[in-house]
Amino acid sequence: MKILLLGYGKMGKNIEAIALDRGHEVVGKINEENIDDLNNFNGDNVDVAIEFSRPEAAFENCLYCADNNIPVVSGTTGWLDRKEEIETKVQNNNGAFFYASNYSVGVNIFFKVNSFLARLMNKHPEYNVKLDEIHHTEKLDAPSGTAITLAEGVLDEVDRKESWVNSDTEKVEELEIESFREPGVPGTHSVYYSSSIDEIEIKHTAHSRQGFALGAVLVAEWILDKKGVLSMDNFMDF
């Protein structure tokens, strides 16, 4: 499989190592220093692009892939206000676009546990729910895409919550997400349901970026014969 890496930071390098170990070829590595080189690639010389770049670059990267017949697997967060434009373009071009806020198998199981717990807790208004997330200091956006996905899972199931905020809040209808940035933390996410009597906590802790990188490569292998707008629900057959 011929892989084009869009973004070559720590995650890109982890993806490259895993891809090479699995027998794939990395035909290009694009970052902000050589962005013009992207014009050398299309569906004839690339099987799939894996996009872990920066929020300000992600839209243009995905748009280029959609216009040049390159299936794209994207994990960049902080640009999702324009994701629907990419999805429309991909559908019109009969292409393939896969987005996930987190490619870890464990995290995606955690998403399902989160939704199930939220459904149970909807009947218990004496419990207030909030989230927190911890990431490395290099992470540019807050809250994390994973935290937003968790928050959306809660909002879908808990009627007393209407929206999330990335700050302290005293409003019952707001779901609080607290973000922390600490050196060397790949990612920790917790969801709390607290009452005057007790507290329920579910938590996912990543020990390294390897789970994210491996998941992205596995999805890239899987998407080769697929069309349309796809997600981890499709990949994991939930």
pLDDT digits (tens, 9 = 90+) for 93-152: 999 999 998 899 899 999 999 999 999 999 999 999 999 999 999 887 899 989 999 999
Under 8 Å CB-to-CB from 108, ≥6 apart: which residues?
Answer: 100, 102, 232, 236
Q: How many domains does the chain have?
A: 2
Report the CATH number at residue 24: 3.40.50.720
Element (H, E) at 200: strand 199-206
Note whether 131 and 191 are same-domain residues: yes
Token pair of 34, please?
A: 């050589």
Non-local (6+) Cβ contacts of 235 within 8 A are: 98, 218, 219, 222
Residue 62's identity, in one-letter code, is: C
Whether 111 and 154 share a structural domain: yes
CATH code of residue 167:
3.30.360.10
Q: Which active-site residues does the annotation give?
A: 135, 139
What's the whole-number mean pLDDT along residues 78-103? 94
Quote the domain boundaries for residue 156: 105-206
Q: Cα(80)–Cα(84) distance, rounded to whole angstroms? A: 8
pLDDT exceeds cutoff 70 at 238: no
Same structural domain, 80 and 119: no
Number of H helices, E strands in the chain: 7, 11
